[in-house]
Structure 1
Amino acid sequence: MNIVILATARNLRPASFRTIREELGVVDGQDTVTVVTAHRPYRPLPVEATLRTGADLSLRRHAIVLPVAALDTSEEPDDEAPGDASPEAPTPLPRRLAHGVAWRARRVRFAVRDNPKVSRVRNSTKVRKVTNAFLPGGVSARFAINTVRAREVKDVLGAADVVVALDSHTHRAAWLLARRHPDPDVVVGTAAGRRVIAARRAGRADSSS
């Protein structure tokens, strides 16, 4: 069974998606899970494919294909755990130098934020009109537009059985996809997703018997 998950959360982690797979009743080796996300995940997710059509991207017709993690990984690696040294691994910066770079970056960010010219341009009527014309409705609308337009998403939806919208910002995209692709069941939340997946699985079992 082909399952598509829509998500706009910034803190997508492998552990949370392993839980989502369990909540949906995904069967490893039988079901294919594709995640369409607005943001790059914290780490590669334990799914078959990850497509990024983020709200921060310009309006485009292609999704960014991200790497995925192995499905049998039981635990997330620890960021602080030392790894084996390899010739390809970058040499870590000294702590003092890293603090210096971070301090300068904050200084530049605050200088830009407090600059009256930048504030004037950002808050000008012309800039607001152009922004609203091209990016209406905030995260929800931009994610929906990019998701509907992406050719990679169209290809995935052509073979999808179930589409699950995880959060409120994905509802508009789910509604548009349901209108354009009538074959898959489009639902909101993992509880509804589990029900339709089980129903589809039972229907296939009845038809094959």
Structure 2
Amino acid sequence: MFSKPGLHPTDIDIYLAMSLMETDLHKIIHSTQELSEQHNQYFLYQILRGLKYLHSVGIVHRDLKPANLFINGDCLLKIGDFGMARSVAQCKPGTSHNPLTQYVMTRWYRAPELLFTFPTYDTKIDIWSAGCIFAELIMRRQIFPAKDSPSQIKMIVYYLGTPTEDVMNLVRESEIKKVIYDCGDKKGLPWSTILPKASPKALDLVSKVWIR
């Protein structure tokens, strides 16, 4: 932090020195680079460690996606782009002077709490995004690449099944309820069908990440 002589104390320049990260996870996933299960495990491990730190101090990232995960030549990963991050307290109704929009996160990584317009949400939305990223590492493509929010909801219901009545009671908008009910009674697909290239351990982990 530096200031020029004679200037007001607020007229200062701030310099940030950060580690050089050669690429991001999106570019790696959608490249011809071969990724082993060990790569996927290591990337997910670092994502979850980073989220554990953020969540332990009450921060929700709210925009976790491969393009915001920076990688260097040693496969070290750093979470970046905190422009949408908020405190957990701000994600509760009536605790912020600026009401939080539900339209955060790139749609393909947006958790049901946001898509279904729940009145409140918390750190679990970042865990959902981490699950989407892990699935994308395995599949080498996005798992829920819908063109709009209704299509996103339909895709999630088709893959994971119809939400329970307790979940439906939290949905505030009638239009969203109609989209869900129009899907019919879905039981959800077996995880081995959703991620046919995944190992048994990977399937077990994803099934836990996406428990709603």
Shorter-chain TM-score bucket reads: under 0.3
When normalised by structure 2's length, the TM-score is: 0.22
Q: Which has the higher strand share?
A: 1
Comparing both chains, which one has the higher relative contact order based on Cα–Cα distances under 8 Å and sequence gaps of 6 or more? 1
TM-score, structure 1 as length reference: 0.22
